[in-house]
Structure 1
Amino acid sequence: MISVRLFAVPALVALLGAGPVLAQQSLNGMITGNDVDRIAELARAYGTIERREDADGVWLRGEMDGIVYTISFLNCNDAHQECTSVQFRAWWESNGAHSMDRMNQWNRDRRFSAAYLDANNNATIEWDVNLAGGVTATNFDDSIQWWQAVVRQFREQVVDPGFEAAGMAPSAPSTSATPSAPPAARSK
Structure 2
Amino acid sequence: MAGLTKVWLYLDFCQEGRCGVLTLSAGFTLDEVPDLEAVNAWNRDRRFSRAFLDEEGTVWVESDLDLTGGVSLGAVRAFLDLFAEEILPDFMDHIGFKP
| Conserved? CA contact 1:95–1:121, under 8 Å | no
Unaligned stretches of 5+ residues in structure 2:
none
In proportion to residue count, which structure has more helix? 1
**Cross-structure match for 2:43:** 107
| Conserved? CA contact 1:98–1:123, under 8 Å | yes
TM-score with structure 1 setting the length? 0.46
Of 77, 92, 95 in structure 2, the residue corresponding to residue 155 of structure 1 is: 92
The alignment's C-alpha RMSD in Å is: 2.1
| Structure 2 CA distance for aligned equivalents of residues 118 and 150 of structure 1 | 19
The one-letter code sitting in structure 2 at the alignment partner of 1:152 is P
Give, in angstroms, the shift of residue 68 of structure 1. 5.2
Q: Structure 1 stretches (4+) deviating beyond 3 angstroms? A: none
| Structure 2 CA distance for aligned equivalents of residues 87 and 119 of structure 1 | 20
Tell me: higher relative CO, structure 1 or 2? Use CA pairs within 8 A at least 6 residues apart: 2
TM-score with structure 2 setting the length? 0.83
Aligned pairs for 1:22-171 (under 5 A) are 69-77=7-15, 81-148=17-84, 149-160=86-97, 170=98
Task: State the structure with more CA Rg.
Answer: 1
Q: Percent identity?
A: 23
Q: How many residues align?
A: 95
The one-letter code sitting in structure 2 at the alignment partner of 1:71 is L
In proportion to residue count, which structure has more strand? 2
| Conserved? CA contact 2:33–2:57, under 8 Å | no
Unaligned stretches of 5+ residues in structure 1:
1-65, 161-169, 173-188
| Structure 1 CA distance for aligned equivalents of residues 29 and 54 of structure 2 | 10
Cα distance, 1:67–1:152 mapped onto 2, change above 3 Å: farther
| Structure 1 CA distance for aligned equivalents of residues 50 and 75 of structure 2 | 20
